[in-house]
Structure 1
Amino acid sequence: MSSSETKTDVILIGAGIMSATLGTLLKELVPEWEITVYEKLANAGEESSNEWNNAGTGHSALCELNYTVEKPDGSLDISKAIKINEQFQLSRQFWSYLVNRNLIRNPRDFIMPIPHMSLVQGEQDVTFLKKRFKALSDNPLFQGMEFSDDHEKLIEWIPLIMEGRTLNEPIAATKIDSGTDVNFGALTRMLFDHLESKNVEINYNHSVEDIKRTDDGSWELKVWNMATGNIERHTAKFVFIGGGGGSLHLLQKTGIPESKHIGGFPVSGIFMVCNDPDVVGQHHAKVYGKAKVGAPPMSVPHLDTRYIDNKKSLLFGPFAGFSPKFLKTGSNMDLITSVKPNNVLTMLAAGAKQMPLTKYLIQQVMLSKEQRMEELREFIPNAKSEDWDLVVAGQRVQVIKDTEAGGKGTLQFGTEVITAADGSIAALLGASPGASTAVHVMLEIIKKCFPEHIEEWESKIKEMIPSHGVSLMENPELLHEIHTSTAQTLGLSEKELIFS
């Protein structure tokens, strides 16, 4: 077993959508910087970014009910919905910039227009949805949203869901045509093809085994070349850890103070998929329901039209599962080995707090296919078991940390960025909305890690993302301009041009 050593400016760990986005941004900002990527698997976008390992929703809070929270006084807090919608607008702008400059092509290969809908049943939830519709539809970001509790209108919108339904309780939905289905696997591969053309060195079948600080402040990576069996050592001034569920272990190896008192809890996802053209042809939307009482936010049920390899299918889920692995291709020892002296109390506190989640996961794991079909029939009353198959989706590691609001061992449902105080290393942890907000998240990393360059980079960032630093909600004219231009560039339908 031999060893070699190289030096570079930037190292990206993991060939997913996050590394692809950060690498592409940096190559536009500083083309002369040398960037090297290390990926354990044989291709880009094979774990969390893979099209079968996520729901493919362009998360912009158009339909996700958990992004609008009802406050004790009965009013709605829509601040999270606004934030996520604005963040997705940044992604649309950056993708449009890349398409306009022929840096990536054929946007229809990774993004398609799909109506986003919310669906609820029961008087209480219908009242909630009405309040949500009123709060959002008054906001320019959600212009074009419709509400209906009329059965005939709902049959027009969602015939597959309404067919055979016993209408013994109120039912209502909102619909907005500006939603999208995004193939993050295809987009990831496009971005890495582009980076390769810009002389970015991409090393597949390379597993990062250790990270340590050098005397000059750089970072040295111990990398196992799985093809040759050799151990290689590579150093860089800046390292981004974008290894999905594998990021926590690598962050812990850095030893930075910011990595302390953080743990992770893995949750796997299972979807049901239908490829029968007769069934698929009756539904054209992403329809999100409301999570059952006691269920975690990531369990919000939804029936999605998906486009994968230009083929239309339906997905329903997710059903939660449990595996101690932090990646689909990970080890059964991942959870145990993530427990360290500095986070054991945090993990134990989380365990004590999350007994309902544990019970929920056990119940989900024990479900038979027919029991899952019964849950699907709450969406599609006439669903037939023979039309649907189970697909195991990706692993998501939910972040556990100590917070002021939640105390020790608080489970975080979202995307977390951890950076060293000097900005020399950053890691991405967590789950949804994840990929949809990749551009926003990577811009935040750039600001934190390269503050000395921000002033000189500002004009280029504005060229790539015209609304950078501006609230679109407070600038409806700019919102109109951007929404229309990105819809045209990305090849979205005429219905998408709701601001005209």
Structure 2
Amino acid sequence: MSNQENKTDVILIGAGIMSATLGSLLKELVPDWNITVFEQLDKPGEESSNEWNNAGTGHAALCELNYTPEKADGTIDITKALNVNEQFQLSRQFWSYLVKEDLIQNPQDFVMPLPHMSLVHGKENVEFLKKRFEALSNNPLFDGMEFSDDPEKLKEWIPIVMDGRTSDEPIAATKIDSGTDVNFGALTRMLIKHLENQDVTVKYKHSVKNVKRTSDGSWELKVKDLENGTVERHQAKFVFLGAGGGSLHLLQKSGIPEGKGIGGFPVSGLFMVCNNPDVVEKHHAKVYGKAKVGAPPMSVPHLDTRFIDNKKSLLFGPYAGFSPKFLKTGSYLDLFLSVKLHNVINMIGAGLKNLGLTKYLVQQVLLSKEKRMEELREFIPDAKSEDWDMIVAGQRVQVIKETESGGKGTLQFGTEVVSAADGSIAALLGASPGASTAVHVMLQVLSKCFPERMDEWEPKIKEMIPSYGVSLSENKELAQQIHESTAEVLKLTNQQV
């Protein structure tokens, strides 16, 4: 073991989209701070951020029906939709700033314009979608949204979905052309390269084994070099745990009281990918459906045009899977090792409360390819089995904790920042909408961990993100201005590829 003590200002654990975003923000706000990144794999963005490990949707609530629940009185609650859209606008603005400053180049390599659509079947769902459209379409963030229940119009929008459809069941869709397909893997690699150009040290094949507080309030990390087996000690005043599913174990090792009681439940995803170029060319949109009754939010089916490695692809899913691993490259012991005395009640409670989810996951794991094809044919009636292959996407660890509304053992579907009271360490837990709202989440980290610096940093933050502190949903002129300017910089003005 090395006796050398390596000191730095900031340590970021995990070279994914979150650490890359936080590092990029910090380098603009305090360029003289020394930053070190540790990544246990041999390159950045290979776990949840990798383009094949997520849906690649720029989540802005343009098509995701689970962000607009129907209330008991029949009205549509658009609160979450507005929040998610506002958060995605922050990401667009920060990406635009980086492009304008020539800190990253060729935005078309990570973001592409792509219509976002919602598709529903059945009279009740059609009525729901129409009410959702009416609730959203007057808001400047959803300007340009269209609704149709006319089969002929739907054939223009989504021919592959309408061809061969024989049922006379009512069907409807909304469409908005300002949606995006985002290659978060490519974006992560660009941001990490940018950080390396800014003298940030990025150490690959380095696994953080322990995190402990020192007597002076900073943090000491025990880090193993996976290539030569040596163990190093690194110290920093601020540590960010951005290791995806691996963050929970590190949070537990830190011992901070804010991490007590928190558990995690891993869910893996599978997608069908089309291997027939003729079929791929017939579709150009992200089309989200409605989750079946009793199914969890992460199971919302969607048919996605994707742009990966400058090639157009077509994916359908997700189908849920189960593995006790917290990372795709993790250990089968991850789930069991995460159970501690302080969280065992929440873990048991979550198991008892979510028997329906457990049953759903078992059913999903046991699905044959033909059964999966039956679900796909609800979107593409003429889909042929030989045209589709299965790929395994990333692992997502859903947060389990006690909440006021849900009590002990509540399973959270979302993204959560857990930080020490003194702001010296923060962890990102959870999943969707995750990467799409990375800038918003990292601004949360900054405000929680550096509250005394936020007034000083505000002018620079507003330079990078003009709508910072302003509600775009309540400011039509600014919303339109920012949408147009970011679309121009990110080359999103041509809506058809």
TM-score normalised by the chain length of structure 1: 0.98
Match of 2:81 in 1: 81
- Is 1:117 the counterpart of 2:117? The answer is yes
1:79-478 equivalent positions in 2, closer than 5 A: 79-478=79-478
Q: Which runs of 4+ in 1 moved over 6 A?
A: none
Q: Which amino acid aligns with 2:101?
A: R
SS of structure 1 residue aligned to 2:85:
helix
Determine the C-alpha separation between the residues in 1 that align with 2:263 and 2:20. Answer: 25
Shift of 1:3: 4.3
Please tell me whether the aligned partners of residues 48 and 54 of structure 2 are also in contact (alpha carbons under 8 angstroms): yes
Determine the C-alpha separation between the residues in 2 that align with 1:416 and 1:449. Answer: 14
Match of 1:42 in 2: 42
Determine the C-alpha separation between the residues in 2 that align with 1:37 and 1:228. Answer: 18
Determine the C-alpha separation between the residues in 2 that align with 1:157 and 1:184. Answer: 26
Please tell me whether the aligned partners of residues 113 and 494 of structure 2 are also in contact (alpha carbons under 8 angstroms): no
Determine the C-alpha separation between the residues in 2 that align with 1:463 and 1:141. Answer: 21
Shift of 1:138: 1.3
Q: Deviations over 1:282-318 (max 9, x none)?
A: 0000000000111000000000000000100100000
Determine the C-alpha separation between the residues in 1 that align with 2:494 and 2:42. Answer: 39
Determine the C-alpha separation between the residues in 2 that align with 1:50 and 1:448. Answer: 28
Shift of 1:453: 1.1
Determine the C-alpha separation between the residues in 2 that align with 1:366 and 1:493. Answer: 44
Determine the C-alpha separation between the residues in 1 that align with 2:35 and 2:313. Answer: 37
Q: Deviations over 1:220-259 (max 9, x none)?
A: 0000011111010000000000000000000000000000
Q: Deviations over 1:19-64 (max 9, x none)?
A: 0000000000000000000001000000000000000000000000
Shift of 1:182: 0.1
SS of structure 1 residue aligned to 2:371:
helix
Shift of 1:2: 3.9
Shift of 1:495: 4.3
Determine the C-alpha separation between the residues in 2 that align with 1:114 and 1:13. Answer: 33
Determine the C-alpha separation between the residues in 1 that align with 2:478 and 2:150. Answer: 35
Shift of 1:494: 3.8
Match of 2:71 in 1: 71
Please tell me whether the aligned partners of residues 2 and 233 of structure 2 are also in contact (alpha carbons under 8 angstroms): no
SS of structure 1 residue aligned to 2:61:
coil
Shift of 1:5: 2.0
Q: CA RMSD, aligned part only?
A: 0.8
Please tell me whether the aligned partners of residues 120 and 126 of structure 1 are also in contact (alpha carbons under 8 angstroms): yes
Q: Which amino acid aligns with 1:315?
A: L
SS of structure 1 residue aligned to 2:367:
coil
Q: Which amino acid aligns with 2:5?
A: E
Shift of 1:455: 1.1
Please tell me whether the aligned partners of residues 415 and 431 of structure 2 are also in contact (alpha carbons under 8 angstroms): yes
Q: Which amino acid aligns with 1:331?
A: S
SS of structure 2 residue aligned to 1:70:
coil
SS of structure 2 residue aligned to 1:364:
helix
Which stretches in structure 1 are left out of the alignment for 5+ residues?
none
Please tell me whether the aligned partners of residues 4 and 231 of structure 1 are also in contact (alpha carbons under 8 angstroms): no
Please tell me whether the aligned partners of residues 3 and 230 of structure 1 are also in contact (alpha carbons under 8 angstroms): no
Determine the C-alpha separation between the residues in 2 that align with 1:275 and 1:488. Answer: 33
Q: Which amino acid aligns with 1:74?
A: G
Determine the C-alpha separation between the residues in 2 that align with 1:453 and 1:136. Answer: 36
Determine the C-alpha separation between the residues in 1 that align with 2:495 and 2:50. Answer: 28
Shift of 1:277: 1.4
Indicate the larger mover: 236-245 or 471-480.
Answer: 471-480
Which stretches in structure 2 are left out of the alignment for 5+ residues?
none
Determine the C-alpha separation between the residues in 2 that align with 1:370 and 1:311. Answer: 27
Determine the C-alpha separation between the residues in 2 that align with 1:476 and 1:398. Answer: 35
Please tell me whether the aligned partners of residues 420 and 426 of structure 1 are also in contact (alpha carbons under 8 angstroms): yes
Please tell me whether the aligned partners of residues 114 and 495 of structure 2 are also in contact (alpha carbons under 8 angstroms): no
TM-score normalised by the chain length of structure 2: 0.99
Q: Deviations over 1:135-172 (max 9, x none)?
A: 00011110100000001000000000000001321000
Determine the C-alpha separation between the residues in 1 that align with 2:458 and 2:136. Answer: 31
SS of structure 1 residue aligned to 2:472:
coil
Q: Deviations over 1:371-425 (max 9, x none)?
A: 1011100100000011100000000000000001001000000001101000000
SS of structure 2 residue aligned to 1:77:
coil
Please tell me whether the aligned partners of residues 415 and 428 of structure 2 are also in contact (alpha carbons under 8 angstroms): yes
Q: Deviations over 1:353-379 (max 9, x none)?
A: 000000000000000111101110010
Determine the C-alpha separation between the residues in 2 that align with 1:137 and 1:475. Answer: 15
Determine the C-alpha separation between the residues in 1 that align with 2:86 and 2:493. Answer: 21
Determine the C-alpha separation between the residues in 2 that align with 1:88 and 1:354. Answer: 30
Please tell me whether the aligned partners of residues 116 and 287 of structure 2 are also in contact (alpha carbons under 8 angstroms): yes
SS of structure 2 residue aligned to 1:76:
coil
Match of 1:30 in 2: 30
Indicate the larger mover: 196-205 or 166-175.
Answer: 166-175
Determine the C-alpha separation between the residues in 1 that align with 2:3 and 2:124. Answer: 65
Identical counterparts, % of pairs: 76
Determine the C-alpha separation between the residues in 2 that align with 1:313 and 1:481. Answer: 32
SS of structure 2 residue aligned to 1:227:
coil
